[in-house]
Amino acid sequence: MEKSIPMDAKKTQICRIFAASLRPFFQRLQCDMEKMQEIRLRVNSPLMVVYDHKETFVTWDGLLKKDADKAVIVSSSQIRETMEYISDYSLYAYEDEIRQGFITIQGGHRVGIAGKIVLEDGKIKNIKYISFINIRLSHQIQGCADPVMPLIKDGGTVYHTLIISPPRCGKTTLLRDIIRQISQSPDGINVGVVDERSEIAACYMGIPQNDVGIRTDVLDCCPKADGMMMLIRSMSPQVVAVDEVGSRKDLEAIEYVINCGCKLIATVHGSSVDDLRSRPVLRRLVEERLFERYVVLGDLSRAGCIGAVFDAFGCNLLRS
Amino acid sequence: MPLDVICFALKIGGALCVLTGCWGMGFFVCRGMSRRLGALRELQRLTLAMAGEIRCMSETLPVILEGMAQRSGPVYRDFFESVSRSLKKGHGQSLASVWNAQADVCFIGGPLNPGDVRLVKRLGEMLGSHDVQMQLSVLDLFASDLEKRIAGLGETIDSQKKVYGGLWVIGGIFVVILFI
């Protein structure tokens, strides 16, 4: 049964990152923070939130309204101040993250940023005049992996599993819960997570903000391919989990992990197994039957909604 | 005992008190200079440590300042500790305002002179910048300003000690002569 994680401190946590003049509007909001998905700040534009899959505006009296007439207008100084709090007064410490366009903050929430790009030798060096902030609130859904667990784990054996899903269908949420359940299981399976974009464990100052289980080691902000090899050498995990594989280098690392006798659970952008077959790099994964289970997601309205689970031979295990 | 002898003894006693007091004042001023030099050297050492934390660990300022408070002596401990605490609380104040307010509170009656405190405040206004390189340049600039102050003070401290110490003693002798 799915249960959402109680987060009493979530509102306070979120309020803290806003400019002092914006905080009262959020403090006054009477809403279920579990339904709050995104908060968008755009310079000289209304303060916007995505609440229960619907776009709404925050008004001066702290209400959520559909029309932008009475909405709070965000100024550039408020965005600057917000960035100061988001970065713990230390923008320099998030240089690499800013270059990638997002910062993970306490609570595992992801702050996407946009502004003017500073280039050096044709590569992104930094972002200045940050004028657009998108705060994606982290939502753990513990138990969302319950339907697939019997199909990807048989007693103490975990199958090589690939989660296939279009963006925003909850593949990371599902992967996180799979990791948690494997790690918590009485079989005592150690899980190594390579969290390149701090999405799975959402580490803040090295501490996972999401529950990833008691036997999980996290390599945070580490390139996937290097991280998988590092983890095997250093932490000897029985299961390695990574998010969003796709490059040729990732494929080499996947083969390394599988050849080392470790089990691999990974996610990939896509709509179906056939979709993977059409891509040059990923085709090999399917044709060589490196993965024993394919979990396909596909419902935008519900995170982690499982469409089908196939075995290496293409047999839908959910139907059978 | 004749009255003349008693008066003379009192005068000698008074003169000795004035001279000792003036020597003590001279000593106090000289000690203040030494303490200031020591405090500036400590700040320079802490600045280098801060640069190291930023360069190698990319730590955030509240964490760095907390570490600096643990490593620093009584002159800076309260300052760094209270700035770090305020930043961690996240009450919606800018770094510069927290830094300046705490500098005003914590450095009162300390060994730093108003010029030194102004320098420290200026550093607070430049911390938290966009990239590591820029942040390190700010710290380099601050360290070189400190170096100049330390070098200037170090060069003149001995002679200044002699001058101030001597002036207080001479002042005392002058007062004694006036009274006698």
Q: Give me the domains of chain A, ranges plus CATH numbers.
A: 3-136 (3.30.450), 141-311 (3.40.50.300)
Beta bridge partners of A216: A191
What confidence tens digit (pLDDT) does each residue in A152-199 have?
Answer: 998 889 999 999 998 878 888 899 999 999 999 998 899 999 998 888
Stronger pLDDT, A4 or A151, i.e. the higher one = A151
CB contact under 8 A, A88 and B60: yes
**Residue pairs spanning A and B at CB distance below 8 A:** 59
Higher pLDDT, B170 or A177: A177
Between CA A140 and CA A200 the distance in angstroms is 10
pTM for the model: 0.77
Q: How sure is the predictor about A55, in pLDDT bands with cuts at 50, 70 and 90?
A: very high
If you average pLDDT over residues B46-73, what whole number do you get?
A: 92
Q: What is the DSSP string of chain A?
A: --EEPP-TTHHHHHHTTS-TTTHHHHHH--S-GGGEEEEEEETTSB-EEEETTEEEEEBTTS-EESSSTTBPBPPHHHHHHHHHHHTTT-GGGGHHHHHHTEEE-TTS-EEEEEEEEEEETTEEEEEEEEEEEEEE----EETTTTTTHHHHEETTEE--EEEEE-TTSSHHHHHHHHHHHHHHSTT---EEEEETTS-SS-EETTEESS---TTEEEEET--HHHHHHHHHHHH--SEEEES---SHHHHHHHHHHHHTT-EEEEEEE-SSHHHHHTSHHHHHHHHTT--SEEEEE--TTSTT-EEEEEETT--BTTT-
The least confident of A218-222, A297-301, B75-79 is A297-301
Q: What is the mean pLDDT of residues A65-74?
A: 90
Across the interface, do A92 and B87 touch by the CB < 8 Å criterion? no
Query: pLDDT band at A5, cuts 50/70/90?
Result: very low
**CB A118 within 8 Å of CB A126:** yes
Query: pLDDT tens-digit profile of B45-58?
Result: 999 999 999 998 88
Task: Compare CB distances from A89 to B58, B128, B130 and report the shortest one's residue.
Answer: B128
ipTM of this predicted structure: 0.77
Confidence of residue A3 (pLDDT cuts 50, 70, 90): very low
Domain range list for chain B: 3-179
Using the predicted structure, report yes or no on whether residue A1 has a pLDDT greater than 60: no
* Banded pLDDT at A304 (limits 50, 70, 90): low
What value does the mean pLDDT take over residues B51-73?
91
Residues 6+ apart with CB under 8 A from B134: A92
pLDDT at B91: 85
* B130 neighbourhood in chain A, CB within 8 Å: 91-92, 95, 98, 126, 128
Distance from CA of B106 to the nearest CA of A (A): 21
* CB < 8 Å to B128, chain A: 84, 87, 89-92
Of A81, A89, A126, Cβ closest to residue B130: A126
Question: Angle formed by the axes of helices B3-52 and B61-71, to 10°?
Answer: 140
**Residues of B contacting chain A (CB within 8 angstroms):** 54, 58-63, 87, 90-95, 127-132, 134-135
pLDDT at A24 over 60: yes
Contact yes or no for A92 and B131 at CB 8 A: yes
Task: Tell me phi and psi for residue A241, to 5 degrees.
Answer: -120, 135
* Chain A residues touching residue B59 (CB < 8 angstroms): 90, 93
pLDDT at B112: 92
The pLDDT score that the predictor gives to residue A320 is: 56
Asked if A87's CB is within 8 angstroms of B59's CB, the reply is no
Chain B CB contacts of A92 below 8 Å: 54, 58, 128-132, 134-135
Lowest mean pLDDT among B8-22, B83-97, B135-149: B8-22
Q: What's the pLDDT at A242?
A: 95
Asked if the model's pLDDT at residue A266 lies above 50, the reply is yes
Q: Which of A320, A2, A12 is nearest to A177 (CA)?
A: A2
Q: Which carries the bigger pLDDT value, residue B125 or residue B165?
A: B125
Percent of chain A whose pLDDT exceeds 90: 45
Q: Is pLDDT at A22 greater than 90 in this prediction?
A: yes
Q: Whole-number mean pLDDT of chain A?
A: 88
User: What's the confidence (pLDDT) of residue A314?
Assistant: 86
Best B53, B87, B89, B131 member to test A by mutation, with max A CBs in 10 Å, is B131
Contacts A126 to B, Cβ<8 Å: 130-131
What pLDDT was estimated at residue A57? Answer: 94
Most confident listed range (A134-138, A283-287, B41-45) = B41-45
CB burial of A136-171 (b: ≥16 within 10 Å; e: otherwise) equals bbbbbbbbbbeebeebbbeeeebbbbbbbbeeebbb
How far apart, in whole angstroms, are the C-alpha atoms of residue A160 and residue A266? 8
Partners of B60 on chain A (C-beta within 8 Å) are 87-90, 93
| Confidence band, pLDDT 50/70/90 cuts, at residue B1 | low
Residue B145 is which amino acid?
D
Q: Do B132 and A95 touch (CB under 8 A)?
A: yes
* Cβ-count burial A236-255 (b if 16+ within 10 Å, e if not): ebbbbbbbbbbeeebbebbe
CB B57 within 8 A of CB B67: no
- Using a CB-CB cut-off of 8 Å, the residues of chain B touching A84 are 94-95, 128
pLDDT tens-place string over residues A224-249: 999 999 999 999 999 999 998 988 88
Chain A residues touching chain B at CB-CB below 8 Å: 16, 19-20, 23, 81, 84-85, 87-93, 95, 98, 125-126, 128, 205
The confidence band for A2, taking pLDDT boundaries of 50, 70 and 90, is very low
Q: What percent of chain B has pLDDT over 70?
A: 99
Q: What is the pLDDT of residues B99-144, one digit of tens each?
A: 999 999 999 888 999 999 999 999 999 998 778 888 999 999 999 9
What is the average pLDDT across A17-41? 89
**A6 pLDDT tier (thresholds 50, 70, 90):** very low
| CB-based contact B59 A19, cutoff 8 Å | no
B-chain CB neighbours of A88 within 8 Å are: 60-62, 87
